[in-house]
Structure 1
Amino acid sequence: MERAFSKLKGDRWLWIIIIVLSVWSLLAVYSSVGTLAYKEGKGTEVYLIKHTLLIFGGFALMYFSHLLDYRWYAGISKILMAITIPLLFYTLIFGNTINDASRWVTIPVINQTFQTSDLAKLALITFLARTLTRKQENIKDVKKAFLPIMGSVCIIFVLIAPANLSTALLMFGVSVLLLIIGRISIKQIAYVCLGVFVLLVLVVSLGPRRQTYMSRVETYLSGEEGDSEKAYQSNHAKIAIASGGLFGKGPGNSTQRNVLPHPYSDFIFAIIVEEYGAIGGAVLVCLYVALMFRCIRIVTLSPKAFGALLAAGLGFSLTLQALGNMAVAVGLGPVTGIPLPLVSMGGTSILFTSVAFGIILSVSRNIDELKEIGGSSERNKKVVVGEIPAMG
């Protein structure tokens, strides 16, 4: 074990949390894909093998991402934004439509779907971290700092919200946290919130999925007294959680996996609690809280603003996404399509989540290297002074 960890740089506890979540994901996905396998006439082993390959592919991306100096992601963020905005526009107009939502595009040759909002999350957070770092000297200037930052947030929000409002709101919440950390004035942040609120009202009232959004909110507010068909998912998720008890039914013994839609993705937390009990659910929550704690530790130790903002933005994004998924499962929020990071079955979600972890670990690796070099050495001065490489 020690030999294996010697090749993994960065926060060791973060690596352990990621490995535990990935192994748990294999168990939970294999247990919950039975209905899907039956509908498509395939064996459950097919999905397990596919999910395992995605997990290993994610680890490969994570490993190579954490080896790259985090400062290079400043320049990469510009490239990502240049790709993301046209790609989101293309998805909105020409993307694959499933359940009245155009969120996916099909990758030619391999014929696999790709959810562009996963790329957008990574692009926006890295771009905001870069912009906030570069604009610190003029952070109060409306034209030089506020407008470029607000523009990037609003453009991404507008392009994602019509088809995936929950992800758009999650990204906006993370963006506001970054603006606060980046010393944007409360008055300017209030203007951003007001602008996005207007966009939100327009999307909910005029967007293509307005009936879906209103129905979900009404179902959530009405609780069990609402239309049984509309409350079907949330009711069965509650049944799964309640029947799990304290210790659960045991791995592979869930009954609600045969009833719940998407038990392997959107409602995988309910299946985990049913099989592993309230104790298992509490352990999973603690893992994500510990993940956020390690990210905050990296933020506080990072000697430069860009690394701190990167770790904070990506850490908040992953943790809030996890808490949002679990909140829906236990009935604390309306039904959304947010997956549980590193646990839910998925393709692009796992891969881009792995890249995000790799970037956080890259920041942590840089901190460890600076500690080894020593704060008083000449070499340390050369490393610290260079905040962002020339390409950034």
Structure 2
Amino acid sequence: MTEMVFGAAPARVGDPILPRWWRTIDRWSLTAVMMLFGVGLLLGLAASVPLAEKNGLPQFYYVTRQAVFGAVSIVVMVLISMLSPAQVRRLGVIGFGAAFVSLLLLPIFGTDFGKGAVRWFSFGFASVQPSEFLKPAFVVACAWAMSAAQQPAGPPGRAISFGAMVVVVLLLALQPDFGQASLVLFSWGVMYFVGGAPFLLLGGIAGLTAMGGWIAYHSSEHFARRIDGFLSADIDPRTQIGYATNAIQEGGFFGVGVGEGTVKWSLPDAHTDFIIAVAAEEYGLVLVAVIIVLYCTVVMRSMARLTAERDPFVRLAGAGLAAAFGVQALINMGVAVRLLPAKGMTLPFVSYGGSSVIASGIAVGALLALTRTRPQGQIGEILGRRAS
């Protein structure tokens, strides 16, 4: 007897790859991702034109580039989603090694593009942000280490993953990139919790994180300025948060109309970090609600399918990838409505950016690969065999 999640047909040996992939993939999540990318292009048509004109470029320069990045991302996502869990694990471990080395080289060869944080490698025609590619690879590598620890005479995988997390978070904080550091820490914490970590240990880690935030506040002017701005009772209308907040208020329920928004002319990051403000102003709460539902669809569908998974690696890696994807979207939108301090984080598949879009494609491709339906024994049968 086998249990097929959501009634999908089991893959038959010898089936062609594409039909087998289509039967076993989570088509709801795949559709939601494609819709998010479509929304990103729609918003890019409005948000990126002022920046292109300001930089003396063709009006749809950034939209065209986003379409190219998106096409590459979708192809990569589909190809990765066809992999087996073992292949995802190998790809993640190799990718983590490459991204980690890139992160170490940033202080030497990286640039900040005048933003005060060295996060990118510039190649003239394009730039790459290693931390974007590090996130999914880190999750997969740590899930492998944690799952290996559950094997008889296995390595101390939890300790290894904890050490990797501490090193990565410190490297990101030194850039400084506290947004990505918090995302890495959160995804690791989710995997550690799913893996059965005691609450006392998780509480201790939370305490250490709070202490780290206190140290960062008193040692980093960049970090302190953002926290002070967030805690301030008054909002400076000339800041990015001020412009974004006003745009969201002006949009109301149905928005001011397509092309009628003004925030895109005031915000330098309207096409990236504050793209949701453009959506709220021109299309209103209706489009914002649709975007939230699409992200929730991917996260909730993935988590639901993972509950039937028996493989510890698949369960841990899938939970970490789904959590990172959802929380990144939550942070981006939370910053725009001033529920969270400004962190400079993109909205997956919607914001402009080659590194962000392609890395999101890699992460979701791995998530789709891990949540594909596979024959698995009924949990009652497994417990019955163990009891007998």
| 1:261-305 deviation digits (Å, cap 9, x = unpaired) | 210011000110111111221121121112211111121122311
Displacement after TM superposition at 1:76 (Å):
2.6
Q: Quick check: 1:126 aligned with 2:140?
A: yes
Q: 8 Å contact 2:41–2:67 — kept in the other structure?
A: yes
Q: Which residue of 2 aligns with 1:85?
A: 100
Displacement after TM superposition at 1:117 (Å):
0.6
Displacement after TM superposition at 1:137 (Å):
4.5
Q: Quick check: 1:22 aligned with 2:37?
A: yes
- Equivalent residues in 2 for 1:1-392, closer than 5 Å: 8=22, 9-98=24-113, 99-107=115-123, 111-137=125-151, 144-162=156-174, 163-206=176-219, 210-224=220-234, 232-365=239-372, 367=373, 369-370=374-375
With normalisation by structure 2, the TM-score equals 0.86
Between the aligned partners of 1:41 and 1:111, the Cα distance in structure 2 is 16
Q: 8 Å contact 1:120–1:156 — kept in the other structure?
A: no
Between the aligned partners of 1:75 and 1:294, the Cα distance in structure 2 is 25
Q: SS where residue 75 of structure 1 aligns?
A: helix
Displacement after TM superposition at 1:42 (Å):
1.1
Instruction: Compare 296-305 and 13-22 and name the one that shifted more.
Output: 296-305
With normalisation by structure 1, the TM-score equals 0.85
Instruction: Describe the shift of the 1:314–1:333 C-alpha distance in structure 2 as closer, same or farther (beyond 3 A).
Output: same
**Paired amino acid for 2:31:** I
Q: SS where residue 122 of structure 2 aligns?
A: strand
- Structure 2: state its 5+ residue gaps: 1-17, 383-388
Q: 8 Å contact 1:150–1:192 — kept in the other structure?
A: no
- Structure 1: state its 5+ residue gaps: 382-392
| 1:347-388 deviation digits (Å, cap 9, x = unpaired) | 0110010111111111222x2x427xxx59xxxx9xxxxxxx
Q: SS where residue 336 of structure 1 aligns?
A: coil
Q: 8 Å contact 2:236–2:242 — kept in the other structure?
A: no
Displacement after TM superposition at 1:227 (Å):
5.4
Displacement after TM superposition at 1:61 (Å):
0.2
Aligned identity (percent) is: 26
**Paired amino acid for 1:327:** G
Q: 8 Å contact 1:88–1:117 — kept in the other structure?
A: yes
**Paired amino acid for 2:121:** V
Q: 8 Å contact 2:183–2:327 — kept in the other structure?
A: yes
Q: SS where residue 307 of structure 2 aligns?
A: helix
Structure that is richer in helix per residue:
1
Displacement after TM superposition at 1:194 (Å):
4.2
Between the aligned partners of 1:150 and 1:309, the Cα distance in structure 2 is 14
Between the aligned partners of 1:24 and 1:92, the Cα distance in structure 2 is 35
**Paired amino acid for 2:111:** N
Between the aligned partners of 2:262 and 2:91, the Cα distance in structure 1 is 46
**Paired amino acid for 1:318:** F
Q: 8 Å contact 1:298–1:308 — kept in the other structure?
A: no
Between the aligned partners of 1:92 and 1:370, the Cα distance in structure 2 is 47
Q: SS where residue 118 of structure 2 aligns?
A: strand
Displacement after TM superposition at 1:339 (Å):
0.4
Displacement after TM superposition at 1:328 (Å):
0.7
Q: 8 Å contact 2:295–2:329 — kept in the other structure?
A: yes
Between the aligned partners of 2:77 and 2:218, the Cα distance in structure 1 is 40
Structure 1 vs Structure 2 CA RMSD: 2.3
